[in-house]
Amino acid sequence: MSSNDFDVVVVGCGIAGLSAAITAQQGGARVAILERAPKDERGGNTRYTESFWRMKSEDAVSDDFEDRFAANAGGWPDPGIVQETVRDRENQPAVLRALGIVDPELIATIAEEAPKALKWLTEFGVKFDFLPLYFLSQSTTRMGPIGGGLALVEALGTYIDERSTDIEVFYETGARDLIFDDQGTIVGVRAVGRGNKPIEFRGRNVVLASGGYQGNQEMLSHYVGPQAQFVRPVSRGGHYNRGEGVRMALSAGAAPCGDYGSFHAQPVDPRSTDIEPVVLNYSYGILVNDAGKRFTDEAPGMVDATYEEVSRLIMAERQGIAYAVFDAGLDDVENWPVTVRSRVPPLEAESLIGLARAMAVDERDFLATVEAYNQACPTSGAFDPFQPDGLATAGLEPRKSHWARPIFRPPFRAWPMICSNCFTFGGVKIDERARVINSEGDAIPGLYAAGEVAGLYYRTYTGATSVMRGAVTGRLAGTDAVLRRNATD
Ligand SMILES: Cc1cc2nc3c(=O)[nH]c(=O)nc-3n(C[C@H](O)[C@H](O)[C@H](O)COP(=O)(O)OP(=O)(O)OC[C@H]3O[C@@H](n4cnc5c(N)ncnc54)[C@H](O)[C@@H]3O)c2cc1C
């Protein structure tokens, strides 16, 4: 074995790559990790996430887990084909095996494996708990590691640092292409090191765990459309994810899976340099675009279940920007500051005209918008900021379904908001062993996808399941790669 020959080559060093690499090493494999970032920035999106897991306890996922995935399946898949998911995998037709859908068997595997993955992570010293987050109330149960994703990267990162002969990490090295022999068997990865230096890594098992394409404007314009120019990754880690993993797998014949035209959208303050500078208080006020006009129902339901759709609507507005506007009544909402992660103060004025000027929106149109909204607010009913209270506007288009109270008491405040990209949904189809499935419905021997590269979501993200997906699919890939190595040794 030459110094660049490995049993398993893992691309990416986030939760998916780390889980795959360590699982494979624990099974006796010699592993290489290729990581685009320098060591002190390793970990991609995982490094910056709070890493909530949709769990009701350390032993079980949330009660709504599989139902939410089913509800968020997106689109109108052909029921004649989807109904065959009840068959065992080997008896499913190829047309279904290669179909890009929310695969119930994979979801069931993630639900079953998530508690095991969580326990495995605790062996590295990570502790999970029910931690506070930026929603005042939630529609599901969530747990997270104390210290967030950074704690995961540090705990697993320390483990690999201490085993550098078994797990060699090549930082500042970007994977570009898969290498196949003339029989079509995967034999490694071509990459580029610093100074555009080409390097080849040999290995008959490759785990693509390099995240999505949120850091690739060309792919975003291609898949999401021209408004993607107004969107940026929600934090620094996403800039490293430029879609090579997805592209390499597709070039190898993988079946696409996950919603290519969509992504996990979050509303953030564009002025802020904070990590994940979300602005999630908007459902207590109104949203206006840069013309000073409302364009959506600000409160279709609980914020944690609806902010994604609202964010995408902001992206669709001219210039991709909106303003969340409030009067002094915002302070009636106890603890509202936890819902705003941007530390940049809001625009503030003693009059609505002053606020319009601060936002640089048309003053007359803005005043007319507020006036029409105020007129349509209910005059009775109890305001309850912690649950949908039914205080809806009447006769206003678009209506506001909850928390509708007139805006008239100074001081007036506004936060600018854009749509940010947490991670993209487009990826490739995998099975319950994290093997990449080709367009013929068969596994591509030796090729695995984990984390964001494995497409799972359509249109609406089932919240607090992406780190879990990374840990579970990474471990599945590492386990299967070891079995394959042992079988072919
Ligand atoms: C601020 C924030 C908050 C979030 N909150 C949550 C949450 O609460 N719960 C949840 O479940 N999810 C959350 N997410 C999403 C979740 O963190 C990610 O989807 C998940 O961590 C992705 O893990 P991954 O291993 O697939 O990718 P990443 O962690 O992004 O790792 C990919 C790695 O691959 C490397 N890489 C990319 N391309 C190449 C290449 N060509 N060659 C070599 N290396 C490459 C990158 O540098 C990176 O280190 C959040 C994300 C962010 C940013």
Find the residues whose C-beta lies inside 6 A of ligand 1.
11-17, 34-37, 42-46, 48-52, 149, 174-175, 209-211, 234-235, 237-238, 240-242, 244, 275-276, 422-423, 451-452, 464-468, 470
Question: How much is the pLDDT for 2?
Answer: 52
SS3 letters across 142-160:
CEEECCHHHHHHHHHHHHH
> d(Cα 371, Cα 365) in Å, to the nearest integer?
10
Residue of 141, 466, 476 best suited for mutating to test ligand 1, as the one with most atoms within 8 Å of CB:
466
Question: How much is the pLDDT for 489?
Answer: 63
Question: How much is the pLDDT for 134?
Answer: 77
Tell me the angle at which helices 15-26 and 148-161 cross, rounded to the nearest 10 degrees.
30
Question: How much is the pLDDT for 190?
Answer: 98
> d(Cα 281, Cα 352) in Å, to the nearest integer?
19
Give the CA diameter of the chain. Answer: 78
**Which of 483, 486, 487, 484 minimizes the C-alpha distance to 445?**
484
What average pLDDT values come out for the chain (489 residues) when binned by 10 residues? 82 98 98 98 97 96 94 88 92 95 95 98 97 78 95 98 96 98 93 96 97 98 96 96 98 97 97 95 97 97 91 96 98 95 97 98 97 97 95 98 98 98 98 98 97 96 96 98 88
Residues 6+ apart with CB under 8 A from 80: none
Q: Where are the alpha helices (DSSP H) in 259-381?
A: 303-316, 352-359, 363-376
> d(Cα 334, Cα 86) in Å, to the nearest integer?
48
Alpha carbon 300 to its chain centroid, in Å, reads: 22
Question: How much is the pLDDT for 184?
Answer: 86
Q: Rounded to two decimals, what is the model's pTM? A: 0.95
Alpha carbon 440 to its chain centroid, in Å, reads: 28
Burial class (CB in 10 A: 0-12, 13-18, 19+), 481: buried
- Residue at 454: amino acid letter: A
Q: How far is the CA of 334 from the centre of ligand 1 (A)?
A: 33
Ligand 1 atom closest to residue 47's alpha carbon, by position in its atom list: 29
Q: How many CA atoms lie within 13 A of 462 on its CB side?
A: 30
In order of start, what are the domains of the chain with their CATH numbers? 5-262+425-488 (3.50.50.60), 268-420 (3.90.700.10)
Question: How much is the pLDDT for 1?
Answer: 47
Question: How much is the pLDDT for 409?
Answer: 97
